[in-house]
Amino acid sequence: MSQFDLPVAGARLCIDLDAVCDNWRLLRARVGGANCAAVVKADAYGLGAERVAPALQAAGCRHFFVAHLGEGLRLREVLGGGAQIFVLHGVHPGAEAECAGGHLTPVLNSLAQVAAWQGTAARAGRALPAVLQVDTGMARLGMEADEWALLAATPGRLAGINVRFMMSHLVSAEDPADPTSGRQLARFQTLRERMPGLGASLANSSGIFLGPDYHFDLVRPGAALYGLAPVRGQANPMRPVIRLQGQVLQIRSIAAGTPVGYSHTWVATRESRIATVAVGYADGYLRSLGNRGRVSFEGQQLPVVGTVSMDTITVDATEVPRERLGEGSLIDLADPENDADAIADRASTIGYEILTGLGRRYARCYLGGGEGPRGTEAIGKRAALLVR
Ligand SMILES: *Cc1c(COP(=O)(O)O)cnc(C)c1O
């Protein structure tokens, strides 16, 4: 038994790779002829790029995005030569040879970066691939319209660079009513006309749902692959991917009037049974969920009471019959009924932050993706098969 197996670990995170692949297929079906990439930066949003990316590759995905060069180099080892790997942060001065050696495609965000990459290609004696990013409204990364015009007017600047496509990133695609997306689309199309024939990519997960005008030649979903809702205020069409369960360490019976936890932020108003569960903010169970979080046991919802500690939370389990819940019982902290988006709402953040914050102390189990039970059963049932 390793440090990461239950019952040695405090909690278990199950990740359904078949659901990730189904989500990718659903998005691919929505974009018709466009390529559907997978964004696997930040360790596939906390779910484990070394498991997620090969599963997606086996499902037919050929284009992968990471943020950092280091993530790209590691992913190249995992995926082998067949995959196209794009590095969103591009290539920093001094790291060009590493990037070229890993056969990674940097996203270039300025004319200076284009020039540096051209120099690398010249030294390598071969054309090197790149993506060109234009800014359409984020003011974060990418070339301005005047830089783009200069590039279009002096094609020699791109000699030796094999430009795969141009891209930009949407500001608020998850809100279909926000006019910003339409403005960005118009800017993107205008910039695109300056370099006719170049492939293009604009949409993240949510952008895919803004309609075919946003699809171009390649879409770049991340969040929706991992089960997050792509469209705010609408039913989530994605399959749930994670189930997180924490072990009960102790059940305490307390009298009415007894305060619980650091700073005594909660006081029992009745005789209560408090279950202490082995997950805390060090595991990504955010401190802002103190007195706001919800967990469940055998489908019954229970409130998190008191503050979230580094390694534990306290749950009001008074409503659960005494004989059903004890030390070692597993409490559902995240499941299809209480998913990362729902947790995020209560913590005043977004599902992205919940996923990428998932801790490293969990016992992790991966379902599907060519290993373990397959099929369409609910992740809950399949995870239950793995309960020790
Ligand atoms: C992270 C990222 C994506 C993926 O966005 P999701 O909202 O997770 O689908 C796509 N493009 C860029 C440039 C990104 O930084």
Instruction: Tell me the pLDDT tens digit for each residue of 23-72.
Output: 999 999 999 999 999 999 999 999 999 999 999 999 999 999 999 999 99
Which ligand 1 atom sits nearest the alpha carbon of residue 133?
A: 13
pLDDT above 50 for 382: no
β-bridge partners, 331:
246
Phi, psi (5° rounding) for residue 371?
A: -130, 150
Asked if 246 and 7 count as a contact pair (C-beta separation under 8 A), the reply is no
Alpha-carbon torsion (345, 221, 88, 281), positive or negative:
positive
Q: Which helix (H) or strand (E) holds 196?
A: none
Q: What is the DSSP letter of 248?
A: E
Read off the pLDDT band of 5 (50, 70, 90): confident
pTM of the model: 0.93
* Same-domain status, 74 and 152: yes
Q: Catalytic site residues?
A: 41, 262
Question: Three-state DSSP class for 255?
Answer: coil
- Looking at residue 381, which CATH number applies to its domain? 2.40.37.10
Cα dihedral 368→371→377→383 (10° resolution):
-90
**Which atom of ligand 1 lies nearest, measured to the CA of 67?**
15
For residue 53, tell me if it sits in a domain. yes
Output the pLDDT for position 378.
40
Among 175, 199, 226, where does a domain finish?
A: 226
The per-residue pLDDT for 6 is 73
Domain count, the chain: 2
Identify whether residues 165 and 256 lie together within a single domain.
no
222 and 295 fall within a common domain: no
Integer Cα distance of 328 and 275 in angstroms: 11
With respect to residue 12, please indicate whether it lies within any of the assigned structural domains: no
267 Ramachandran zone, left/alpha/beta (phi>0; psi -120 to 50): beta
In terms of domains, do 256 and 306 share one?
A: yes
Atom of ligand 1 nearest to the CA of 174: 7
CA 261 to centroid of ligand 1, rounded, Å: 38
Whether 374 has a pLDDT exceeding 80, the answer reads no
- 51 & 80 share domain: yes
Query: Which residues have C-beta within 8 Å of that of residue 189, sequence separation ≥ 6?
Result: none
pLDDT the model gives residue 313: 98
Same domain, 60 and 193: yes
Q: Say if residue 221 is in the same domain as residue 100.
A: yes
The answer to the question of residue 234 being in a domain is no
Same-domain check for residues 349 and 300: yes
Final residue belonging to a domain, choices 191, 226, 261 = 226
Question: Is the bond into 373 cis (omega within 30 degrees of 0)?
Answer: no
* Contact (Cβ atoms closer than 8 angstroms) between residue 262 and residue 307: yes
pLDDT digits (tens, 9 = 90+) for 97-134: 999 999 999 999 999 999 999 999 999 999 999 999 99
Within 10 angstroms of residue 40's Cβ, the number of other Cβ atoms is 29
Q: What is the pLDDT of residue 362?
A: 95
Q: Is residue 167 part of a domain?
A: yes
Question: What are 190-206's pLDDT values in tens digits?
Answer: 999 999 999 999 999 99
- Are 337 and 218 part of one and the same domain? no
Q: Taking CB atoms and a 6 Å cutoff, what residues make up the pocket around ligand 1? A: 39, 41, 88, 169, 204-206, 220-224
Q: How far is the CA of 111 from the centre of ligand 1 (A)?
A: 23
In the reported structure, the alpha carbon of residue 39 is separated from the centroid of ligand 1 by a whole-number distance in angstroms of 7
- The answer to whether residue 346 is domain-embedded is yes
Residue at 3 is within a domain: no
Q: What is the pLDDT of residue 8?
A: 82
* Alpha helical stretches, state H, 31-90: 41-45, 49-59, 69-79
Distance 196 CA to ligand 1 centre (A): 25
What pLDDT was estimated at residue 1?
60
- Containing structural domain, residue 109: 18-226
Q: Whose CA is nearest to atom 12 of ligand 1?
A: 169
Average pLDDT over residues 6-22: 92
SS3 192: helix
Do 73 and 216 share a domain, yes or no?
Answer: yes
Residue 191 and residue 313 share a domain: no
Structural domain contains residue 271: yes
Shared domain for 219 and 247, answered yes or no, is no
What is the Cα–Cα distance from 301 to 332, expressed in whole angstroms?
Answer: 9
